[in-house]
Amino acid sequence: MGSCTKCGNPNVIIKRKASGQALCKDCFIESIEKKVKQTIKKEKFLEKGDKVLVALSGGKDSVVTLEILNSYVKRHIIELCAVTIDEGIAGYREEGVEIAKAHAERLGIPHKVVSFKESFGIDLDEIMKTEGHRGSCTYCGVFRRWIINRAAREFGATKIATGHNLDDETQAILMNYLEGNMENLASIGPKTESNSEMFTVKIKPLREIPEKEIGLYALAKGLDIHLAGCPYAQESFRMEVSNILKDLTKDHPTIMYSTLRGFDKIRPALRQELQHDYEYDRCERCGEPSSNRLCRACTFLEELGK
Partner 1 sequence: MSFTLKIKDKVEERDFDGEVTIKDLLDEMDLSSETRVTKKNGEIVIDEETIEDGDEIEFIQIIYGG
Work out whether 92 is an interface residue with partner 1 (CB under 8 A): no
Q: How far apart are CA 218 and CA 183, in angstroms?
A: 35
> Can you tell me which of 54, 60, 160, 263 binds partner 1, judged by CB under 8 A?
60
Question: Phi, psi at residue 117, to the nearest 5°?
Answer: -60, -50
Work out whether 236 is an interface residue with partner 1 (CB under 8 A): yes
Work out whether 206 is an interface residue with partner 1 (CB under 8 A): no
Residues 6+ apart with CB under 8 A from 183: 274, 275, 276
**Residue 164 Cα distances to 12, 107, 160, 189, 232, angstroms:** 27, 22, 12, 11, 20
**Please, what is the minimum distance in Å from the beta carbon of residue 229 to partner 1?**
3
* DSSP 8-state assignment for residue 279: P
Q: How far apart are CA 272 and CA 186, in angstroms?
A: 9
Q: How far apart are CA 123 and CA 136, in angstroms?
A: 11
> Can you tell me which of 7, 102, 178, 228 binds partner 1, judged by CB under 8 A?
228
Pairing of strands 79-86, 51-55: parallel
In the bound state with partner 1, the residue whose beta carbon lies nearer, of 67 and 211, is 211
Work out whether 246 is an interface residue with partner 1 (CB under 8 A): yes
In the bound state with partner 1, the residue whose beta carbon lies nearer, of 178 and 239, is 239
Closest CA to 110 of 170, 72, 70: 70
**Please, what is the minimum distance in Å from the beta carbon of residue 49 to partner 1?**
35
Question: CB atoms < 10 A from the CB of 192, how many?
Answer: 16
Work out whether 182 is an interface residue with partner 1 (CB under 8 A): no
Residues 6+ apart with CB under 8 A from 231: 89, 91, 92
**Please, what is the minimum distance in Å from the beta carbon of residue 36 to partner 1?**
18
In the bound state with partner 1, the residue whose beta carbon lies nearer, of 56 and 216, is 216
> Can you tell me which of 9, 13, 112, 275 binds partner 1, judged by CB under 8 A?
13
Work out whether 244 is an interface residue with partner 1 (CB under 8 A): no
Cα angle at 117 between 114 and 121, to 5 degrees? 130
Work out whether 38 is an interface residue with partner 1 (CB under 8 A): no
> Can you tell me which of 70, 119, 242, 290 binds partner 1, judged by CB under 8 A?
242
**Please, what is the minimum distance in Å from the beta carbon of residue 217 to partner 1?**
10
The distance in angstroms from the start CA to the end CA of the chain is 60
- Judged by CB under 8 A, the stretch of 36-44, 64-72, 209-217, 257-265 that binds partner 1 is 209-217
> Can you tell me which of 39, 65, 176, 249 binds partner 1, judged by CB under 8 A?
249
> Can you tell me which of 86, 87, 211, 288 binds partner 1, judged by CB under 8 A?
211
Q: How far apart are CA 238 and CA 242, in angstroms?
A: 6
In the bound state with partner 1, the residue whose beta carbon lies nearer, of 25 and 296, is 25
- Where on the chain is the footprint of partner 1 (CB under 8 A)? 1, 11-15, 22, 25, 60, 137, 211-212, 215-216, 218-220, 227-230, 232-234, 236, 239, 242, 246, 249-250
